[in-house]
Structure 1
Amino acid sequence: MIIVNTIRPYKDEHNNEIFCDEEIKTARVVFYGKNNKLVVKKGSKIKGGIYFECNNGTCHIGQNRFKGFIRLGEDCTVTINDKVTCTNDCLITAAEGISVTIGEDCMLASDIQIRADDGHPIFDVKSEKRINMPKSVNIGAHTWIGGRVTILSGANVGQGSVIGFGSIVKGKIPNNCVAAGAPIRVVRKNIAWERPHLNHVAPPYKPDASFVSKSPYWNSTIEEVASIEEHAPVIEPHWTKRILQKLGIKISE
């Protein structure tokens, strides 16, 4: 284990590297393996730690304000794009070659966990196969994640959405919606949110959009439409024959 107590340009004999333009004294990097890379964009403010727990991990952190801890397993990638903010500690974990991506201009509240893996394997007793393989997580740009939210493996959150306090996120959440609950569900569509705080940014009342500057993320919610084949009822052959006979349509044997 190698501990680098500040984020600064660094390279060791195990080919672990840190690429940055300025030293960040409020975060540390821990290397357990080899061939790991941390790339930090100039102007980023990071508080916490990045832990490369295996080999071949890559972490990209844009120009943002991130507070928390990132844990990367074998062959994993974590990407936090520009203008992401955290109110308080955020935990991000990735294992077994998957990725976690947070889009630009996301707003993360306190005590958020983004877990692309379960930390420990679970097996089927009869087949002995794994039943909890990790899956990549993607959080779209300009997403607001409320406090105490847990985002689980395979989650895909569309840009411009809001995830309510204490929610457990699994599966796909569309863009520009409010989703909440455990399990999570969409509670409102066609929404847009902006960063100005209700108390800290004038005016103290903001009854409509004329009181804020609108970001580029004002879009209608796009819903996936299933194909006709998915909606069509399955009709067994003998039922097809009887229906045609009732309609007076002759069929050849």
Structure 2
Amino acid sequence: MIRDILIFGIRLFKKLIFKLSDLENSALCEKLTTNNGGVFLSQASITNLQNDKKKIIIGKGSHIRGQLLIYPYDGKITIGDYCYIGEGSRLWSGESITIGNNVLISHNVNIMDTNAHEIDSVERALSYRDMTLNGHPLNKGSVQTASIVIGNDVWINFNVSILKGVTIGQGAIIAAGSVVTHNIPPYVLAAGVPAKVLKNLNINDK
């Protein structure tokens, strides 16, 4: 009897600790974003290196489980209404990532509008050393960036990578494991490395 009470008490205590941790994480995410009614789940992570909450905007009804990161030199992330960002997914912006409404992004998806590092090997090595000593640079330098736009009603499956300069049209589906390097038109199924259109989606799939 006493053993059962102790076990129950320990479980209850653990749940309370987890709940407090979730609330603390959610409060931190709120401080770093402009949240118009979204939900930050326990796995959510916000890295706002500009310390400007207007640069990360979350729409109403959207649920965030992944990481949102903007670089100090530039970057903006805008997520529309009723979207889902899955666990382990990373949205890193050095220019602009814009996501429409009703977009489903599964787990372990990478969406990055920047190369993150320089092309030239010597410049890259020097830049990396400087970053380890002084933190992320305030100037982009020769790092290449290009905006990403994801239209309304898009579904991006797990383990997809979306690279800089890409637009994905409304209602498109990106199959699991694909790497998107070029624009994808609306209402198509795209798959592969690099992703290519496999078929048009029926009007009833809208």
Q: TM (normalized to structure 1)?
A: 0.57
- The answer to which structure, 1 or 2, has the higher relative contact order (CA under 8 A, 6+ apart) is 2
Which letter does structure 2 place at the counterpart of 1:83? Answer: Y
RMSD, matched Cα: 2.6
Q: Which runs of 5+ in 1 are unaligned?
A: 1-22, 31-35, 193-208, 219-253
Per-residue CA deviation, residues 52-103 of structure 1 (Å, 9 max, x unaligned), is 12465711001211111111012321000001023423200011xx100111
- The 5 A counterparts of 1:88-237 are 88-95=87-94, 98-123=95-120, 130=142, 133-191=144-202, 218=206
Quote the offset at 1:24 in angstroms: 5.6
State the distance in 2 between where 1:24 and 1:188 align: 44
Segments of 4+ moved more than 3 angstroms: 23-30, 54-57
Q: TM (normalized to structure 2)?
A: 0.69
Q: Which runs of 5+ in 2 are unaligned?
A: 1-21, 123-140
Per-residue CA deviation, residues 195-214 of structure 1 (Å, 9 max, x unaligned), is xxxxxxxxxxxxxx6xxxx7
Task: Report the structure, 1 or 2, having the larger strand content.
Answer: 1
- The 5 A counterparts of 1:75-94 are 75-94=74-93
- Alignment-derived partner of residue 49 in structure 2: 53
Contact 1:27 1:49 in 2 (8 A): no
State the secondary structure of the residue aligned to 2:66: strand
- Alignment-derived partner of residue 250 in structure 1: none
Identity of aligned residues (%): 25
Asked if 1:66 corresponds to 2:64, the answer is: yes
CA separation of 1:157/1:165 partners in 2, compared to 1, >3 Å: closer, same or farther? Answer: same
State the distance in 1 between where 2:84 and 2:51 align: 28
State the distance in 2 between where 1:104 and 1:176 align: 15
Quote the offset at 1:37 in angstroms: 6.4
Task: Report the structure, 1 or 2, having the larger helix content.
Answer: 2
Contact 1:55 1:75 in 2 (8 A): no
State the distance in 2 between where 1:24 and 1:78 align: 23
